[in-house]
Structure formats: structure tokens, C-alpha cells
Structure 1
Amino acid sequence: MIRRTLRNGLVAAIAAVAVFPVTAVAATNSPAPHARHHVVTAPRHTWGRVTTHRHTRLNVRSGPGTGYRAVGSRPVGRSLPIVCETRGSSVFGNHRWYKLPHHEGYVSAHYVHNRSTVRWC
């Protein structure tokens, strides 16, 4: 329990830092007409792997909570693209839900092991 609390706190701290996009702008007083400003932003999505218990499929819901209807499912071990993270109903004490791309739905973060930091929606 303490290990999970520490891990969740570390993930939250890293996510808070990742919320602010990094920008790089050419440093000139009078930019030339051909000069362009480059903006470096976070990637469009990150990846996670389904880690449900007892080899059950993970429900994909229409919203961030168990009260929303199931619109699909994903098998154990499947890699998922994750757009962002939001707060929703609790699943075993975890209120985080991951939004999938292309309006596919939401999955509980309790059952997904993400490979990198997920930005907030």
C-alpha cells in the first residue's frame, strides 16, 4: 500500500511537470522573412499495456467511470495508445482514467501499465 502510494505520488509529480509544453523560439531581434519559430510539444499519445487480473478483458467505456456504458474491450497484454489522463469514478481506490484516441473511449488506469508519463486532459 505504501509502495503504491509512493508510486502514484511520483507519477502525479512527473505528470504535473509534463503538463507544461516546452517551447523553443529562435532568438533574434529582427527575424528574417524565412526564419521560422519551432515549437516542441509533447507527443500526441503514449502507450500502455493491459494488465487485468485472471486474464479477463478490459472494458472500454464511453466516459471516465464505471457508470458509463461499455463500448468495447481489450485483451490482456494488448498495447493501447493513450491520449491523456482524466479523473473519474474509483476503481479499487484509483480515480485515474485514460482516454483512447479517435473517440474510442476510456479505460481505467488501474488495469493499464503505462510506459511513460501521460498528460492530463
Structure 2
Amino acid sequence: MHYYSIAPGHTLNVRSGPGTTYRITRVLPEGSRVAIFCQRPGETVSGPYGKTSVWDNIANGEYVSDAYVKTGSDGYIAPRCT
């Protein structure tokens, strides 16, 4: 399993779905790393790594915006969530 760093100097809201209107399930502290199990399109968000509609599934029912995760790509790096 590969882990990806969240943007330096940021905490990150983990949400129950791919958008900022979904409930916050927890907050990742600065320096966190996440595993990405799958990705799906959702709300477009601007962050340290650009503007994207890609959301990363980091656990069952938990999503973070890819704009805050250093994946090295502007596109999908994991399978689409089903």
C-alpha cells in the first residue's frame, strides 16, 4: 500500500462523501499520510495542489479532496470507486 502526504502546513477535513456539503467525520493533523483505495468525481475544490473535482477514498465512507494530497498527478492515480 502506498501512502501520500497531505499538503504541508494544513490539517484536512475528512468527509463522508465527495464534497464539502458532506459531514466531517474527522480531521487529519498536519503531516498526515493517507492511503488511497479508490477515487471518484465530486465537488470541485481549490487547494495547495491546484483545482480538482477528484476525491480520494481513504477509508470506508471517508473522502478527502485530492487538491490537498500530494499524488504527483492532476488526474486519477487509483481505480474509480464503484
User: Smaller-chain TM-score range?
Assistant: 0.7 to 0.9
Higher helix fraction (1 or 2): 1
Larger radius of gyration: 1
Q: Which residue of 1 aligns with 2:79?
A: 119
Any conservation in 2 of the 1:63–1:105 contact (CA below 8 Å)? yes
Q: Please report how far the alpha carbon of residue 56 of structure 1 lies from its aligned counterpart in structure 2 after TM superposition.
A: 3.3
C-alpha distance in 2 between matches for 1:47 and 1:74: 14
> Are the structure 2 counterparts of residues 119 and 46 from structure 1 closer, same or farther at C-alpha, using a change threshold of 3 Å?
farther
Give the letter for the 1:96 counterpart: V
* Aligned Cα root-mean-square deviation (Å): 2.0
Structure 2, unpaired ranges of 5+: none
User: Which structure has greater strand proportion?
Assistant: 2
Q: Partner residue of 1:57? A: 11
Structure showing greater relative contact order (alpha-carbon pairs closer than 8 Å, 6 or more residues apart):
2
1:56 partner letter: H
Asked if 1:84 corresponds to 2:38, the answer is: yes
What TM-score results when the alignment is normalised by the length of structure 2? 0.77
CA drift of 1:87 comes to: 0.3
